[in-house]
């Protein structure tokens, strides 16, 4: 599974990719979804699925997904031969749930430089406009970071949103994915999603891959670790963690974004 020259050119121009071949078959997704409750059982009382960040460091179940060679082949088409995975985050909207993801840029949240990160969104369910599928502003990655502000909304899954008027909402592309498919987007692309008023769950796992030239500010995020996916790291910026040994495990997440 390799990107074509046309797909790479489209990504460079628009900041995202859709229409990729399914990464996981229907049978594989049935197994993956059957195992998900074992991970959900690790949530503590009062926690939501939004707390499920970077659990791939402790869970072999998730580690197998983020290190799947079919995904890595596609990521290599964007980042080149040398890259690592550092982040994962579940975005699960149950049926008839009010949770939204306001318009934002991923890179604004992360103490990483330079900008060389791609997010892979793995669909655990069929995703469309009816159950709160993501929307993205094409070409918005070609500008710089835009000022974000605190989002004072209990239904918001993340804490920051873009200042209104900084982009054209009418140009947004609606993402539609079948379970087992992925999308890819640039770390500066503006995107967000609405609530899920439907009777269908909308579950997705975001995975963050960065080129080995990307350095985390360890003063801001002292527990930042990664796993080398492909190639070699000649920079030495990044601490690496061993592969997890437990099938299901959790990581107690500490914020690495600009919200204290």
The three-state secondary structure class of 163 is coil
CB-count burial class (<10 Å; 0-12, 13-18, 19+) for 165: exposed
Token pair of 231, please?
Answer: 């190639």
Residue by residue, pLDDT tens for the chain (260 residues) are: 899 999 999 999 999 999 999 999 999 999 999 999 999 999 999 998 989 999 999 999 999 999 999 999 999 999 999 999 999 999 999 999 988 888 889 998 899 999 999 999 999 999 999 999 999 999 999 988 877 766 666 666 666 666 666 678 889 999 999 999 999 999 999 999 999 999 999 999 999 999 999 999 999 999 999 999 999 999 999 999 999 999 999 998 655 444 32
Structural domains in the chain, sorted by start: 5-230 (2.60.120.620)
Task: Quickly tell me which residue has 């318009």 as its tokens.
Answer: 103
Estimate to the nearest angstrom the gap between the alpha carbon of 185 and the chain centroid: 9
């Amino acid at each position: 599974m390799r990107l074509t020259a046309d797909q790479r050119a489209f990504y460079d121009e628009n900041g995202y990719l859709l229409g990729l071949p399914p990464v996981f078959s229907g049978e594989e997704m049935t197994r993956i979804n059957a195992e998900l409750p074992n991970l959900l059982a690790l949530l503590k009382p009062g926690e939501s699925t939004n707390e499920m960040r970077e659990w791939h460091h402790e869970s072999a179940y998730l580690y197998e997904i983020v290190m799947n060679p079919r995904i890595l082949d596609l990521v290599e088409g964007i980042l080149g031969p040398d890259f690592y995975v550092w982040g994962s985050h579940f975005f699960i909207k149950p049926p008839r749930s009010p949770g939204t993801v306001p318009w934002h840029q991923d890179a604004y949240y992360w103490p990483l430089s330079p900008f060389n990160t791609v997010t892979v969104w793995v669909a655990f369910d069929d995703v469309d406009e009816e159950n709160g599928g993501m929307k993205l502003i094409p070409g918005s990655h070609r500008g710089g970071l835009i000022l974000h502000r605190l989002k004072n909304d209990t239904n918001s899954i993340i804490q920051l949103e873009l200042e209104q008027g900084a982009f054209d909402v009418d140009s947004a592309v609606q993402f539609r994915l079948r379970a087992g498919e992925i999308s890819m987007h640039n770390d500066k692309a503006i995107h967000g999603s609405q609530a899920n008023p439907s009777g269908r769950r909308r579950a997705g796992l975001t995975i963050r891959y960065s080129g080995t030239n990307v350095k985390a500010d360890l003063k801001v995020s002292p527990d930042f670790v990664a796993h080398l996916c492909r190639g070699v790291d000649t920079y030495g910026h990044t601490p690496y963690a061993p592969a997890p040994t437990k099938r299901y495990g959790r990581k107690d997440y500490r914020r690495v974004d600009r919200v204290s």
